[in-house]
Structure 1
Amino acid sequence: MARVLVAVIALASFCHAVIREEDFAAEDIIVRDIAILGAGASGTYAAIRLREDYNLSIAVIEKDDHIGGHTNTYTDPETQKPVDYGVLAFWDYGPAKSYFARLDVETMAAPPEGGTTVYVDSETARNVTDYQVPAFSDVLKSIAIYGNESGKYDDILLPGYWNFPSGDDIPADLLLSYGEFSQKYGIDNFYPMLQIIAGVGVGGVRDIPLLYVMGFGLDHPAIQSLLQNGLFVPKSGSNAEIYQKAYARIKDDILLSSSVVSAERDEHDGVHLVVQTSDNCKRLIKAKQLLVTPAPSIQNLESLDLDDQESAVFVSSTPRPIHVGLAKTSAIPRNYSVQYVSSKVAPDNYLDMYQDIKHDLKIQSTGPEELQLFRVLLETTSDLPLTEDEAKAYVTSQVQKLAAAGTLNSVKPPDAAAGSGDAQTANGGAVTVEFKAFKSHSSVMWRLPADEIKAGFIQNLYALQGHRSTWYTGSLWCTDFSSNVWAFTDTVLERMVGARKKDG
């Protein structure tokens, strides 16, 4: 199937329409040094650095009507208090703190998360009463072991995989499955915490190659920050502040609600991008180089006229359906969070927490006390993509099931009143779920088996850097945290600008 898809892409590339400059009015032609596709964490950071540190002209194309990517903040209309429900905090790693200082964003240590987590069966929504939460002292020992082992590979995993070996030179542990690695070092009790932080393993973590957990999920700097309380947030309480201040600096160079509809890219002539803008007009961007920040999949990048080399790599990506949101409900008490898990986890089969289940749903108490808000995080297996309406319906049905089962009756205040919003009914009782905000964070991931990693997949991936005047950054090229992405972006910009100077 993959070969067929590559062939189709190749045929489409061969037949693409030629971009003619004379088809555009002079005012609709934008000439820049660098074009940037996407204004999430990496695209916004790159735009700031290219303008201010490298003194290069830029044009940023962003499909949404705002910048910020997976940083989502809801502002309560009555209290004007912000509540983050996308990115929650930042590791103190690489350029993170200096980036905040550059943008005049004051920071403070991330406040500790309190409250009680209730673990419920994903099938019945009943409390998994015989599940034994691992002792924190034991988890700390496992974290230290994981951190020590991950630190051995800093030179080949951080801040990206520029130096990653191939074949028999790859450290043997990195080719183990996570289950084998966890058993080898006796750290099964670390997985519940790892899953909360990195979200890895819906459907089962045992057979996932360690490289994808340690390299793309939770790396050594994250472990160090975890042990040293190195997480931080803006003092304002709003992660959106970063992007509001960044936007003020680069707003004249951003096309919002815009997307690339066709492209020509060449090693020597740079890139030509036809962009459909928010006013339904088409504009031509001519740039010497292109920086691509969205998740690298065939679907996401098909408008870039992918060639055989690019398609052969990007066809290997696997969909990762994720939705995040903010909901108000009276069905869950304040300061309680609900985590839906596999019944196989009991009593202490920690690696089986999400074994063979297709939905990873967490409902976490958040925000100011008086707002009764819960952060919703729903990830499904790659074969079960959900629309926004389907995701909301699933969350609502699980809250209904929770109420119908009476799972939280022992902790719910007896006089708790139903909340406002669209009432849902379960067993005759009113169960309210009102979604204040909801976003798709769906992306892709790499899940290739060990033999394909040994055969050179990482090298083939990184060989695309600079190919056809195009460079890449973002979470699929390094560990998936903002601080890591910014550190990796620095290495891309250095090479990209260096290649530009070399080419004259």
Structure 2
Amino acid sequence: MLSILLFALLSHVHATDLHSWGIFDNNFGEWSEVIERDVCIVGGGASGVHAAVSLVDLNKTVVVVERNNRLGGDTHTYIHPETNSLVDIGVVIFQPLSVVYDFFEKLNLPLLNMSAVQWNVPGQPANTSQPAAMFATLRADVDFRDGTDILLQTDTSDAVTDAFQRMSDILSQYDYILHGYDLPDPVPEDLYMPYGAFIEKYNLTAAFRTIYQISQGMGDLLHVPTIYAVKYFNTGDIRALTDGYLTHAHGNNSEIYSRAGDYISYDNVLLESIVVSSNRRKNLTTEGSRAELLVSTRDEGLKLLSCTQVVLAVPPELSNLAGWDLTDQEQEVFSRYIAANGYWTGLVKNVGLNQTLTSWNAAAGTPFNIPVLPALYDLSPVGTIDDVWWIKFGANNPTLTLDQVKSYVEREIHTIQRAQNATLTKPEWLIFESHSPFHLQVAPEDIKGGFFKRLTALQGGLGGSMFYTGAAFHTQYSSLLWRFNREVLIPKMMEYW
């Protein structure tokens, strides 16, 4: 009798172990709808939306899953309630690449080359018919820790020009970094050394202040591995400094994504929705070789997505992928990411300072007088709206809360007000957005050890059903991400059609 009872107990334990008791099992058949598409895209930011539009053009059916209540990711546009004036506070500029011209043309949007029109004279009022990003101001360099004026040691214009020319020549050896992470083996040391060492090695110091000003959000730029820095400020930026960056002609980059939503149809967009579980290697309810994603939606409960291919277009942090049936390769690669830096942007009013002057944060005693983070990069008037100011705040890690960032910002504004003998005010927040973590990174030893070879090898995994795009697979730059989709992602997906 004892042996029979023991056998029954062991049989029960074994049967229990075989059953995963996962989210799919617990909610089997409880979804409100099964949505079948050729491609399911997880993430409705710059990469995911562009990929969706590109796939629709190739006669593929798509569905986009986005956790926020809007498409566009880090692209945010403020609309002033009284004047309807527009201010882009997230993505503002684009490199003059053919993919940018093509995307704007497809969506019938006005595109402006910022060097093709006359800017206001610094010290004079803004031209309100132009995007707010084109407001030119006078400049003051101030240590935001105590309000003291900083006298920068400036290089001659010829020295700056020569430094950028040298940089362009050097980076031309590594042109492949502009198209993804398909790196040679072994990886050149230049690409994983600290960026400050790269700057010194090639005598590019005269160019660094301009690079730093454009590379806001990259945190401690002198110490990040060079590959991340030269992807974010690259030869395309050097050309754009002369030929001009592009922007939405009305200062409304968010319109890109509202138009794109119309293009792919909002019936194919699930906003305020997240993937809670995935079955990409077996099928529970549908026939054929199709991946399945269980999605929690805002108003309609669970939906089951059935797709031939999946595009992951969100930061592949393991915390973002809870519930996914990750492969061993995905688990190993994604676990190598470190939270790199934080970046927050917004607008405040009721500052009461000189609206023709931008105060740039320049610390005494640091290399190149770069600010000591966490801190504001600068305090700059919008110009097109009275007493409204841009907020661009950086940190070397993304762990600060929104309230902590606001507290830092308000203290630093008070420091500048005191330094300028202005009345202390309580700044009023009009819009405030987090872009953190701004750019996922891995350690230099991982770059040297072939991390990016393993990362790029994930494309087309699970029998040609799994693909990836976004900043982690290239860089935090819409122009280059759109080109990555065109040159790398879509052709790779087509290999399995």
Smaller-chain TM-score range? Answer: 0.7 to 0.9
Q: Does 1:165 align with 2:161?
A: no
| Structure 1 unaligned spans of 5+ | 1-13, 413-428
State which of 142, 151, 175 in structure 1 corresponds to 2:172. Answer: 151
Write out per-residue CA displacement over residues 235-281 of structure 1, whole angstroms, 9 at most, x where no aligned residue: 22311221121111221100111111111122983321111111151
| 1:472 positional shift | 0.8
| 1:192 positional shift | 1.5
Aligned positions of 1:60-459 closer than 5 A: 60-110=64-114, 112-128=134-150, 130-154=151-175, 156-162=176-182, 164-167=183-186, 170-199=187-216, 202-203=219-220, 205-215=221-231, 217-229=232-244, 231-250=245-264, 251-266=266-281, 269-279=289-299, 281-319=301-339, 320-345=341-366, 349-350=367-368, 353-354=370-371, 357-368=373-384, 370-382=385-397, 385-404=399-418, 406=419, 408-409=420-421, 429-443=423-437, 445-459=439-453
Conserved in 1, the CA contact under 8 Å of 2:32 and 2:300? no
Conserved in 1, the CA contact under 8 Å of 2:289 and 2:308? yes
Equivalent residue, structure 2, for 1:423: none
Greater displacement, 490-499 / 136-145: 490-499
| 1:144 positional shift | 1.8
Write out per-residue CA displacement over residues 459-479 of structure 1, whole angstroms, 9 at most, x where no aligned residue: 011111122322111112113
| 1:174 positional shift | 2.4
% same residue? 27
- 2:24 is paired with a residue of what secondary structure? coil
TM-score of the pair, normalised by structure 2: 0.85
Conserved in 2, the CA contact under 8 Å of 1:125 and 1:340? no
Task: Name the CA distance, whole Å, in 1 between partners of 2:467 and 2:249.
Answer: 34
Q: In angstroms, what is the RMSD of aligned CA positions?
A: 2.4
Conserved in 1, the CA contact under 8 Å of 2:88 and 2:252? yes
Task: Name the CA distance, whole Å, in 2 between partners of 1:467 and 1:224.
Answer: 37
Shift in CA distance, 291/201, structure 1 to aligned 2, threshold 3 Å: closer
Compare the two structures and name the one with the higher strand fraction: 1
| Structure 2 unaligned spans of 5+ | 1-18, 120-133, 283-287
Conserved in 2, the CA contact under 8 Å of 1:24 and 1:284? no
Q: Does 1:34 align with 2:53?
A: no
TM-score of the pair, normalised by structure 1: 0.83
- Give aligned pairs, total: 452
Amino acid at match of 1:263: S
Shift in CA distance, 366/134, structure 1 to aligned 2, threshold 3 Å: farther
Conserved in 2, the CA contact under 8 Å of 1:107 and 1:232? yes
Equivalent residue, structure 1, for 2:5: none
Shift in CA distance, 466/16, structure 1 to aligned 2, threshold 3 Å: farther
- 1:118 is paired with a residue of what secondary structure? strand
Amino acid at match of 1:378: F
| 1:481 positional shift | 1.3
Conserved in 1, the CA contact under 8 Å of 2:75 and 2:90? yes
Shift in CA distance, 283/143, structure 1 to aligned 2, threshold 3 Å: same
Task: Name the CA distance, whole Å, in 2 between partners of 1:22 and 1:309.
Answer: 28
Amino acid at match of 1:458: F
Conserved in 2, the CA contact under 8 Å of 1:331 and 1:399? no
- 1:286 is paired with a residue of what secondary structure? strand
Amino acid at match of 1:392: K
Of the two, which has the highest radius of gyration?
2
| 1:496 positional shift | 4.0
